[in-house]
Structure 1
Amino acid sequence: MTKSGHSDGTVGKALEVLDAVAAYGRPVRFKELLADGAYPKATLYRLLQTLTNQNMLSFDAESGYYTLGGRLIRLAHAAWQAGSLGPLARPHIDALSLRLGETVHLAQLDDGQVLYIDKRNATRPIPMYSDAGKIGPGYCTGVGKAMLAFLPDSERTVALAKQSYYRHTEHTLTTPEALEAELAEIRQTGISFDREEHEPQIICVAVPILGQGLRPLGALSVTTTTLRHSLDDLEALAPDLKACATAIARDADPWVSPTESRTVSA
């Protein structure tokens, strides 16, 4: 739990505590949050009490554990339904994964990083970091680079400044200049790769889902391991990915611009 630097008062602090509880991926005790966090004991206790009163967190007095609350889960479900490509894209990624027999990811950008919206596992699943709901880096993932490449110039500059450029593997791009050069190539080809940049032996091919004005709504990837396939194998799947992305973008048009769509249909 780290301070964001924003002056968002109590609301911002409470959201940071929610993020911290969620990051554990399991029930968590007060002493863990205190040890790992940035807030004094009294402040943390007050924030947890408020979140619990609002059912954003749940507290088991007998065990002393905090977990995510029912209200937060309902809000998350509503956000997935109304605020993500997930429901619209589901039939398309289902069909694509079934046809290819490989792992398919659906992602959107979240403050310059990758938010994994949905995932379909391969016929033979591969252990990897990316699961629905997780946040991944933008600069060293196929879906991240596919979306960053098509951001408007001013937004891309801001997004690139938010990347950590941490070297996860020997293949990771670690400077804005190297990343920008690759993004320029991605804008030409419409295809992005993860060349074992985030996890050893994990590779992928990705394409952006582009809305009106070629603005990235999200991205799709097919992910596998170097033990099974090569980058050339994955590149051969790019036409399937692009066709799927086009279909999702077409279905997403009313979702992206509901007012305009209602006007046209009327």
Structure 2
Amino acid sequence: MNKPASSDGTVGKALETLDMVAELGRPVRFTELLAMSPHPKATLYRLLQTLTNQGMLAYDEARQTYSPGLRLVRLAHFAWRQSSLAPIARPHLDALAAAVGETVHLAQMDRGQVLYVDKRNAVDPIEMFSQAGKVGPGYCTGVGKAIMAHLEGEARQNAINQQAFFRHTNTTLTTTEALEAELDEIRSEGVAFDREEHEPGIICIAAPILTEGGRVLGALSVTTSTSRQSLEQLSDLRPKVQSTAIKIAETAEVWQFPT
């Protein structure tokens, strides 16, 4: 189904078009984009031409496909270095991963969804959805709930309103009321858990990364499989997870990480 047209003029339309190409994760033909786009054929063609001319998209004449351009890749790299927690958090994630031997995730929130900005695989890796650069749901992931629990007022409500509440497993939270109740508990307890809410057999403990003033920058988690550990065993990692989150926040404060 086509997305509604942007109300932000030509720039908004161009960014929506970039999003469509990027989200598909592969080179895409004009006809595919046209089927997804809210814009008329001529408008979409002009947007693609402009984005290609500016290096934001690349066009393969032989295959007649569009893909992200090198200029977009370069901008993404600059954004990752300046606006992502990943470079700041790297040594702390390395230390935590070495200490626990399980998968470690670092995430930030974008429009109510979780953006995984870095990951350390377990000593014995397990198959799971999350990868650096991937976007996941906020309401059924430990990192997503840890972040939302520490958002304030309107920001928290906006994030909740952006959740799809699709039932991924039998333990997925599927209502606003259930999510709000858990967020209150997480804010009180200081950590969040994924109780196989997004993927069967995958559990995690997560902690928010908070500035001294209480602003939430992101979250980190230790993730494993129910075949290896229980939620009770993960709970024992609370001190390590929380202390790592504090170290990342302190480093971010020194580097004046952007709001």
- Give the TM-score band, short-chain normalised: over 0.9
Which residue of 2 is the match for residue 232 of structure 1?
Answer: 232
TM-score normalised by structure 1 residue count: 0.93
Equivalent residue, structure 2, for 1:261 = none
Structure 1 segment 22-37 matched on structure 2, within 5 A:
22-37=22-37
Query: Matched residues in 1 for 2:2 and 2:147: separation?
Result: 27
Give how far 1:255 is off.
2.9
Please list the CA deviations of residues 135-155 of structure 1 after superposition, one character each: whole Å capped at 9, or x if unmatched. Answer: 111111000000100111222
Aligned-partner Cα distance in 2 for 1:71–1:166: 36
Kindly indicate whether the alpha-carbon contact (under 8 Å) linking 2:208 and 2:220 is maintained by their aligned counterparts in 1: yes
Q: Distance in 2 between matches of 1:27 and 1:123?
A: 34
CA distance in structure 1 between the partners assigned to 2:186 and 2:147 by the alignment:
10
The number of residues matched between the two structures is: 258
- CA 1:66–1:257 in structure 2 vs 1: closer, same or farther (change >3 Å)? closer
2:220 maps to which residue? 220
Unaligned runs of 5+ in 2: none
Displacement of 1:244 in angstroms is: 0.5
TM-score by length of 2: 0.95
Note if contact 1:208-1:218 (Cα within 8 Å) is conserved in structure 2: yes
Report what 2:192 is aligned to.
192
Counterpart contact for 2:6–2:16, Cα < 8 Å: no
2:23 partner letter: A
Structure 2: distance between partners of 1:108 and 1:54: 29
The answer to whether the aligner puts 1:157 opposite 2:157 as a matched pair is yes
Residue segments in structure 1 that go unaligned for 5+ positions in a row: 259-266
From the superposition, tell whether residues 257 and 50 of structure 1 become closer, same or farther in structure 2 (CA, over 3 Å). Answer: closer
Q: Which amino acid aligns with 1:203?
A: I
Q: Partners in 1 of 2:17 and 2:8 — Cα distance? A: 13
CA-CA distance at 1:52 after TM superposition: 0.2
Q: RMSD in angstroms over aligned alpha carbons?
A: 1.5
- More displaced 10-residue stretch of structure 1: 157-166 or 100-109: 157-166
Partner of 1:105: 105
Residue pairs, 1:49-64, within 5 angstroms: 49-64=49-64
Closer, same or farther: CA 184–132 of 1 in aligned 2, 3 Å: same
Letter in 1 for 2:145: K
Could you say which residue in structure 2 is the equivalent of 1:178?
Answer: 178
Contact 2:5 2:38 survives alignment (8 Å): no
Per the alignment, residue 144 of structure 2 pairs with 144
Deviations along 1:152-199, whole A, 9 cap, x unmatched?
122211211111111111111111111111111111110100111111
Give, as a single letter, the amino acid of the residue that structure 1 aligns with 2:244. C
Whether contact under 8 Å (1:3, 1:16) holds in the other structure is no
1:5 deviation in Å? 5.7
- Cα 1:48–1:6, aligned 2, differ >3 Å: closer, same or farther? closer
Verify the 8 A CA contact 1:114 1:144 in the aligned structure 2. Answer: yes
Q: Distance in 2 between matches of 1:63 and 1:41?
A: 20
Q: Deviations over 1:82-138 (max 9, x none)?
A: 011110001110111122111100001112211111011111211111111111111
Taking the aligned partners of 2:58 and 2:179, their CA distance within structure 1 comes to: 42
Question: Matches of 1:246 and 1:51 in 2, distance apart?
Answer: 41
Q: Is the CA contact 2:83–2:257 (under 8 Å) kept in the aligned structure 1?
A: no
Partner AA of 1:205 in structure 2: I
Distance 1:124 1:27 in 2: 33
State the partner residue of 2:169.
Answer: 169
Match of 1:67 in 2: 67
Greater shift in the superposed pair: 46-55 or 248-257: 248-257
Aligned to 1:264: none
Displacement of 1:63 in angstroms is: 1.6
Deviation at 1:44, TM superposition (A): 1.5
Task: State whether residues 6 and 13 of structure 2, in contact with CA within 8 Å, keep that contact through their aligned partners in structure 1.
Answer: no
Q: d(CA) in 2 for partners of 1:87 and 1:4?
A: 36
Q: 1:221 to 1:88 in 2, by over 3 A?
A: same
